């Protein structure tokens, strides 16, 4: 039941921001040809892979979890720890060329921004991310499957928010000192930059000197290419 509730929350958040992008749009940018088809393909893989992970975790998990019988508290504590590890994993994807090319490049390829881009990732990157979960969640912190699912839901909701194509009112923008906001993540996806603002929690970027706020609107995103989405699945640009 917990997994269904968390999946429902993630879907509801995605649908809300897809609606909000129509209600309060920031800026319309050109979209790759075939983006919708490619997004549907990777989303289908993500769903299948998530079921495999949850089943494997539930079978493998025989020890007492970090916070037994308190998976909600466990999930929030684990997410804070995981977000720090994932911050450095994200930086590695940008700094080490093989990780950038074979894992993360596709995520940065869209020339537009919207909430769906949060889940627009190469299947190889999804598998690599699950290995980070395996290392931190089971081997180091020994958390329950429910806590893992909650942490992923928190991550997914925050990612959906800062990838969304919405314009925030100025009075809301100080939220960027706590969690990353859309304007900050546009800078992360800026053509020719692709750096800074690595974590949904601004805490880690602040501590490690990578937090940034754009001084003006970011104009171009992604890369100079032929305007097609599908080749990125085959590592072709």
Domain boundaries, the chain: 2-24+36-234
- Size of the chain, expressed as the number of residues it contains: 237
pLDDT at residue 2, as a whole number: 84
How many whole angstroms separate alpha carbon 84 and alpha carbon 125? Answer: 18
Element (H, E) at 232: none
DSSP letter (8 states) at residue 112 = S
pTM of the model: 0.93
Using alpha carbons, select from 49, 194, 41, 52 the residue that is nearest to residue 120.
41
Using alpha carbons, select from 88, 83, 122 the residue that is nearest to residue 104.
122
With the CA atoms of 48, 166, 170 and 200 taken in that order, what torsion angle do they form, in degrees rounded to the nearest 10? Answer: 20
Alpha helices, DSSP H, located in the chain: 2-23, 35-60, 71-95, 97-99, 123-133, 145-163, 182-188, 202-207
pLDDT at residue 66, as a whole number: 58
How many whole angstroms separate alpha carbon 82 and alpha carbon 129? Answer: 11
Tally of CB atoms within 10 A around 93: 22
What b/e sequence results for 114-128 when a residue is b if at least 16 CB atoms lie within 10 Å of its CB, and e otherwise?
bbbbbbbbbbebbeb
How high is the mean pLDDT in each 10-residue block of the chain (237 residues)?
90 98 93 95 92 74 61 94 96 97 96 97 95 84 87 96 94 94 96 96 98 90 90 84
pLDDT at residue 237, as a whole number: 67
How many whole angstroms separate alpha carbon 71 and alpha carbon 2? Answer: 10
229, two tokens: 């989405």
pLDDT at residue 227, as a whole number: 87
Angle (CA) 14 183 187, round 5°:
110
Paired with 201 in beta bridges are 179
Backbone angles phi, psi at 221, to 5 degrees: -120, 165
pLDDT at residue 34, as a whole number: 95
pLDDT at residue 212, as a whole number: 96
pLDDT at residue 69, as a whole number: 66
């Amino acid at each position: 039941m917990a997994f269904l509730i968390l999946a429902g929350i993630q879907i509801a958040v995605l649908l809300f921001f897809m609606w909000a992008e129509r209600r309060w749009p920031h800026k319309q940018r050109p979209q790759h040809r075939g983006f919708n088809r490619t997004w549907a393909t990777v989303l289908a893989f993500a769903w299948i892979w998530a079921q495999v992970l949850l089943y494997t975790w539930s079978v493998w998990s025989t020890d007492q979890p970090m916070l037994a019988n308190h998976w909600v508290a466990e999930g929030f504590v684990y997410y804070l720890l995981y977000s720090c590890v994932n911050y450095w994993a994200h930086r590695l994807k940008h700094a080490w060329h093989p990780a950038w090319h074979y894992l993360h490049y596709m995520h940065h390829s869209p020339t537009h921004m919207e909430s769906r881009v949060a889940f627009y990732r190469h299947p190889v990157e999804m598998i690599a991310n699950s290995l980070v979960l395996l290392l931190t969640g089971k081997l180091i912190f020994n958390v329950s499957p429910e806590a893992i699912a909650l942490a992923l839901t928190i991550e997914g909701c925050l990612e959906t928010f800062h990838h969304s194509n919405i314009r925030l009112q100025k009075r809301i923008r100080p939220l960027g000192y706590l969690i990353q906001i859309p304007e900050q993540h546009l800078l992360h996806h800026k053509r020719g930059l692709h750096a800074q603002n690595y974590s949904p929690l601004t805490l880690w970027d602040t501590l490690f000197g990578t937090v940034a706020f754009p001084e003006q609107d970011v104009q171009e995103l992604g890369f100079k290419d032929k305007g097609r989405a599908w080749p990125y699945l085959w590592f072709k640009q």
